[in-house]
Structure 1
Amino acid sequence: MTVEPTAAPGGLAGRFRRGLWLSLLNTLLSRIGTFVMGIVLARLLVPEEFGLYATALVVQGLLLAFNDFGAATAVVRRSGDVRPMLPTAWTISVVGGAIAFVACALSAPALSTALGSPHATEIVRFLAINVLLDGFACVPGAMLSRELAQARRLVADLTGTVVNLAVTGVLAFLGAGAWALAIGHVSGTAVVVVLLFVLSKHWPRLGFSSEYFKEVGGYGISVVASSLLLMLAQSVPQMVTGSVLGATALGFFYLASNVSNWPVSIVSGTVERVALAVFARARDNGTDLDRASGGVMGLVGVAVLPGGVALALLAGPLVELVYGHQWVPAALVLSGLAIAAIGRVFADMALNLLLAVGAPLSSALIQLSWLVALVPTTVAAAHAWGLAGIGWAQAVVALFVAVPVHLWGLRRVGVGIMSLVRGILPSLLSAVVVAVGLVLIRVFSTSPLLSVALGGVFTAAVIAYGWFRFRHTLDSALLPTG
């Protein structure tokens, strides 16, 4: 199966928008289900149980960063007929997943203890099954992304989410504690993998070619390094919280981290499924990537910047209203995490652009500089200010280290800074409008419910206006040059 050629100049923009809307629907439905289940679980489980599960997720995330050794990225970005590469990509991803699974099973006690939750050892081992399953999902998922076939991806992901939530809810109600979350997660992943096989019409077919192994491996080493460093940067606050403040504080952090990702992960999860494929196809079509990156990032920023600012300003009333009084400490860290998440979305976009132009090593060096700044800042803030310090340490590093360094990396591969600034300027103005409006709402509101309701409606209105006002700029941004 190969990518359909873009028949008209505006064809890629149209396919991007269709893929974006379907991917957005996918993400929204998944997040709504997770949000509702989170409310239920917060009243069935105690913070320590969330902390045990969060420890296992950190380990899983680190393993997922490198278990396919860049095979998925190589499949998505490759020009021309990708079918001869697939057997080698299957072998790399499946063997990589198996190696990561065994490594986790053996190191689970040490990893759990290092993260401050030694009782999470068995949950870590069980959740590592997802890493093994992900090795089988790599090629069919990459082919759907390459083809911008988000309708089929929606079916697989949504079915998996339903299974995950159903199993988790039943087991939590029966008193399974943190195991309910782990078993539900693995069950949902297994369903997604089977559906990806069926919907992509790509079944496991192992093979080996030294030519393609060198192509995937040579490119994959830098991709893996970049992804692993990015995952470490995202996992540092959880690691520090668990090791310095304990499992209960990690439970509060886990809840705050989930909430901070609502507006940002909706956009990030939506764009992640289509961004690399669009940038790669734009490259193949002769589109000016300087112009394309400004258009795509500008459109994404219309939602990310106002949404992140709104969540930071409404953190206190939102946590109290939705989760109850026992979770109020989570609001201390939420505001900073909401601001940091904005920088993370633009970092993900920059990563996809660097991968599309074949500069993964530059991305790896960028992620390394982010990590080097983040570790000491987070540790110092945790000791000095506790949970709140951890949240704002992420915001400071994201805004004053990660964003400037990513801009430098893009400039090195020929993406002009002024193009990006022009692209995101409407987003910055929208964020200022939201900030002023929400400050006034907080001043005059009389209850958490009123603050959240009015603030949510106002923010949604600003985002909707920005989207419809600037959505057509993408057509000219993705036009081929010449």
Structure 2
Amino acid sequence: MSEVVEDSPGAEGALSGRFKVGLRFSLINTVFSRLATFAVGVLLARLLAPEQFGLYTTALVVQTLLLTFNDFGTATALVRHKGDVRPMLPTVWTISVGGASIVYLLCLVTAPALAAGLGSPQAADLVRILSINVLLDGFAAVPGALLTRNLRQARRLVADIAGLVINLVLTATLAATGFGAWALVIGHVSGTAVVTLLLLIVTKQLPRFGLKRRHVVEVAKYGGAVVVSSVVMVLLQYAPQTITGRMLGATALGFFYLASNVSSWPASVITTTVERVGLATFSRARDSGVDLDRAASAVIGMVAMAVLPGGAALALLAPQIVELVYGDKWAPAAPVLAGLAVATIARVLADLVFNLMITAGSALSSVLVQVIWLVALVPTAIFATARWGLVGMGWAVAAVACLVALPVHAWGLWRAGVHVPALLRGLAVPLLATVVVVAALLATALVLSHSLLYLVAGLLITAAVVAAGWVGGRDRLSAALDAPAEI
């Protein structure tokens, strides 16, 4: 017997309360995951050579690209759907599991070509094994989407933490016994298997297959746009890594991977937290008659309050972080990290804009703005890498993100009928907070010359500014999410 929890609008109180509860558990999930992954990442950086990280990165790039379209947008269609989702479950199960199976089989056959295309032909077997996650994700898509739809992040937390523990314990143990890049692959697949099983258990879901035309059309309309957009976003994320591997080799790719991983720390904590509640919250706000412009401005402002100061601080503290955390052999990653930290800010805002545009029913515009971003990024990255090497790559990504991506996304929102000035007003306080953090860190650098003291002081300053901004914005968020739209 399956269970689908369909909450009524008042089942757990006002939308702002449901959003905050979902956000809280999602944040706990994300922070725990990042801290644990960080700890093991430091251990692996000292156990493995940069070349081993480069091989694993090749397999991870392939897996991530495949995962973007492997459920064919069924999860997004479920979260966004108006009304009872039970009639459409057989259709979305068929699309997600069937699509995942096809993608997995294709990956098994094409793994050598995919690995060679990324500059690491010796990673073909790693690609094959890691792609098992693609198949598992097909079974996890529906139960995961049902939890996201109803903002049930407490249940999701149980599954994700259990999978993470299995992943990290296996990875660390195997790496310490000499398994190299295979330690990362085996740990990752094992952890995903545990998460998938637990998601099926906590939602009491079993796959039920069937197809209905109206539900296929709905998935194609919104899920199809999400798939294309997700593929473009993955290309945006991994095109620089692919170019680095092809032009500079596996060792440079290892440095770039480390810098990319570290640059995502503050941003990914927020974006991973919000992506599990963002689309669901915007959709429920739409269904409840809430002023979507006002709600979006408040949510984006709260997210930016963490991302903008955090990204700026990470760019300034990059040399100290790499030196003190990872060791001198990873020093070439520091200049790249500074550029990628700036670029990651734009990625977080773009993710929220994407959810808002899907809610507003403007799927085509959401794809178009990301394609423009990608078209600008690739030639710029190639030119900068040929001219300035690894450092040029990092700052090329930052320049395109700030000078192309942000203006184009604002244009996309305008096309979707969203009141852009209202959203920009939501960014005023976060931008001011960022200026305060940058000024404080530059002043602190003049006083403290010791790397560790400067790093600790910088982190404390940034945390204090972000915390003050979040506390000050709570009432505005509640008012925005619970206020009906003006007629």
The normalised TM-score by structure 1 is 0.98
**Structure 2 matches for 1:39-54, cutoff 5 A?**
39-54=42-57
Moved beyond 4 Å, runs of 4+? none
Farther-moved stretch of structure 1 (422-431 vs 198-207): 198-207
Aligned with residue 153 of structure 1, among 141, 156, 178: 156
TM-fit CA distance, 1:221: 2.0
Paired position in structure 2 for 1:20: 23
2:177 corresponds to 1:174 = yes
Aligned with residue 128 of structure 2, among 125, 135, 138: 125
Aligned with residue 480 of structure 1, among 436, 461, 484: 484
How many equivalent pairs are there? 482
TM-fit CA distance, 1:444: 2.0
**Structure 2 matches for 1:173-252, cutoff 5 A?**
173-252=176-255
TM-fit CA distance, 1:355: 1.3
Paired position in structure 1 for 2:385: 382
Aligned with residue 311 of structure 2, among 308, 313, 329: 308
Paired position in structure 1 for 2:37: 34
CA contact under 8 A between 1:223 and 1:361: conserved in structure 2? no
Paired position in structure 1 for 2:442: 439
Provide the C-alpha distance between the structure 1 equivalents of 2:363 and 2:131, rounded to a whole number of angstroms.
27
CA contact under 8 A between 1:30 and 1:161: conserved in structure 2? yes
CA contact under 8 A between 1:55 and 1:115: conserved in structure 2? yes
SS of the equivalent of 2:417 reads coil
TM-fit CA distance, 1:210: 2.0
Equivalent residue letter for 1:290: D
CA contact under 8 A between 1:123 and 1:179: conserved in structure 2? yes
Provide the C-alpha distance between the structure 2 equivalents of 1:353 and 1:201, rounded to a whole number of angstroms.
30
TM-fit CA distance, 1:2: 4.3
CA contact under 8 A between 2:292 and 2:485: conserved in structure 1? no
TM-fit CA distance, 1:8: 9.2
Provide the C-alpha distance between the structure 2 equivalents of 1:9 and 1:106, rounded to a whole number of angstroms.
48
Which stretches in structure 2 are left out of the alignment for 5+ residues? none
Paired position in structure 1 for 2:276: 273
TM-fit CA distance, 1:219: 2.6
**Structure 2 matches for 1:281-430, cutoff 5 A?**
281-430=284-433
The normalised TM-score by structure 2 is 0.97
Farther-moved stretch of structure 1 (146-155 vs 380-389): 380-389
Provide the C-alpha distance between the structure 2 equivalents of 1:139 and 1:280, rounded to a whole number of angstroms.
18
Provide the C-alpha distance between the structure 2 equivalents of 1:464 and 1:216, rounded to a whole number of angstroms.
39
Cα–Cα, structure 1 residues 8 and 186, in superposed 2: closer, same or farther, change >3 Å? closer
CA contact under 8 A between 2:76 and 2:222: conserved in structure 1? no
Equivalent residue letter for 1:333: V
CA contact under 8 A between 1:160 and 1:188: conserved in structure 2? yes
SS of the equivalent of 2:257 reads helix
Provide the C-alpha distance between the structure 2 equivalents of 1:477 and 1:218, rounded to a whole number of angstroms.
29
SS of the equivalent of 1:415 reads coil
Provide the C-alpha distance between the structure 1 equivalents of 2:114 and 2:214, rounded to a whole number of angstroms.
37
Paired position in structure 2 for 1:102: 105
CA contact under 8 A between 1:343 and 1:399: conserved in structure 2? yes
Provide the C-alpha distance between the structure 2 equivalents of 1:108 and 1:388, rounded to a whole number of angstroms.
30
Provide the C-alpha distance between the structure 2 equivalents of 1:103 and 1:353, rounded to a whole number of angstroms.
33
TM-fit CA distance, 1:7: 2.4
TM-fit CA distance, 1:38: 0.5
Provide the C-alpha distance between the structure 1 equivalents of 2:159 and 2:5, rounded to a whole number of angstroms.
20
Provide the C-alpha distance between the structure 1 equivalents of 2:205 and 2:88, rounded to a whole number of angstroms.
13
Provide the C-alpha distance between the structure 1 equivalents of 2:13 and 2:140, rounded to a whole number of angstroms.
31
Provide the C-alpha distance between the structure 2 equivalents of 1:42 and 1:215, rounded to a whole number of angstroms.
45
Provide the C-alpha distance between the structure 1 equivalents of 2:152 and 2:191, rounded to a whole number of angstroms.
21
Q: Deviations over 1:20-58 (max 9, x none)?
A: 111010000000000000010001000000000011111
- Residue identity (%): 58
Equivalent residue letter for 1:476: A
SS of the equivalent of 2:278 reads helix
Q: Deviations over 1:85-106 (max 9, x none)?
A: 0111001000111111112112
Provide the C-alpha distance between the structure 1 equivalents of 2:62 and 2:178, rounded to a whole number of angstroms.
24
Q: Deviations over 1:77-135 (max 9, x none)?
A: 00100000011100100011111111211221111111111111110111100011000
CA RMSD, aligned part only?
1.2
Provide the C-alpha distance between the structure 1 equivalents of 2:222 and 2:459, rounded to a whole number of angstroms.
43
CA contact under 8 A between 2:385 and 2:393: conserved in structure 1? yes
SS of the equivalent of 2:227 reads helix
SS of the equivalent of 1:65 reads helix
TM-fit CA distance, 1:230: 1.1
Aligned with residue 64 of structure 1, among 45, 67, 74: 67
Farther-moved stretch of structure 1 (219-228 vs 338-347): 219-228
Equivalent residue letter for 2:152: A
Cα–Cα, structure 1 residues 463 and 66, in superposed 2: closer, same or farther, change >3 Å? same
Equivalent residue letter for 1:405: V
Provide the C-alpha distance between the structure 2 equivalents of 1:299 and 1:5, rounded to a whole number of angstroms.
26
Paired position in structure 2 for 1:89: 92
TM-fit CA distance, 1:10: 7.2
Farther-moved stretch of structure 1 (207-216 vs 61-70): 207-216
Q: Deviations over 1:210-258 (max 9, x none)?
A: 2211221233222211111111111111111111111111111111111
Aligned with residue 264 of structure 1, among 250, 263, 267: 267
CA contact under 8 A between 2:23 and 2:277: conserved in structure 1? yes
Paired position in structure 1 for 2:469: 466
SS of the equivalent of 2:82 reads coil
SS of the equivalent of 1:154 reads helix
Q: Deviations over 1:364-405 (max 9, x none)?
A: 111100100000011111111111111111111111111111
Equivalent residue letter for 1:263: P
Provide the C-alpha distance between the structure 2 equivalents of 1:55 and 1:152, rounded to a whole number of angstroms.
32
